[in-house]
């Protein structure tokens, strides 16, 4: 009888070693995020890498500290659907960032609207 109670008590005991390992992994991933910001990558690549690292960190936190690792399959399926929906919503934002720089760069705008001698001079005098 005593062994059965001890087994149940050990089952609900937190695995401190695992928590320390996850904490160390989160610190390493944070250092990677800071290193990514120091490399001065093009904005779309920097955003994509930053989001990738953030997803890994969020997954670790959710799985261990929020105790989602041991949940039933319905919870896991729901999380996958939400993560897929978030990815579908984020991808157009990344695409927009990539395209907007090309659309609004000063050289492109200037080439699309060449200055005409009369209109530009009268507009500047006002």
Q: In the prediction, which pLDDT does 110 show?
A: 61
- The answer as to whether 94 is a domain residue is yes
Nearest Cα neighbor of 102 from 116, 112, 89, 92 is: 112
Per-residue confidence band for 106, with pLDDT thresholds at 50, 70 and 90 = low
- The answer as to whether 119 is a domain residue is no
- The answer as to whether 59 is a domain residue is yes
- For residue 88, the enclosing domain spans 2-110
Per-residue confidence band for 25, with pLDDT thresholds at 50, 70 and 90 = very high
- The answer as to whether 38 is a domain residue is yes
- The answer as to whether 101 is a domain residue is yes
Query: Sign (positive/negative) of CA torsion 115, 120, 121, 124?
Result: negative
Task: Find where tokens 């960032």 sit.
Answer: 97
Would you call 64 exposed, middle or buried from its count of C-beta atoms within 10 A (0-12, 13-18, 19+)?
buried
Mean pLDDT score across all residues of the chain: 75
Number of independent structural domains in the chain: 1
- Cβ–Cβ under 8 Å, residues 26 and 60: yes
């Amino acid at each position: 009888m005593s062994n059965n109670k001890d087994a149940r008590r050990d089952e609900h005991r937190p695995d401190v070693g695992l928590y320390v390992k996850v904490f160390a992994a989160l610190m390493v991933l944070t250092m990677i995020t800071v290193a990514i910001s120091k490399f001065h990558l093009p904005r779309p690549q920097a955003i994509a890498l930053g989001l990738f690292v953030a997803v890994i960190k969020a997954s670790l936190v959710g799985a261990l500290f929020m105790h989602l690792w041991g949940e039933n399959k319905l919870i896991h399926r729901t999380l996958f659907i939400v993560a897929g929906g978030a990815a579908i919503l984020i991808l157009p934002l990344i695409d927009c960032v990539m395209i907007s720089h090309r659309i609004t760069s000063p050289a492109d705008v200037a080439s699309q609207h060449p200055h005409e001698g009369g209109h530009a001079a009268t507009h500047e005098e006002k």
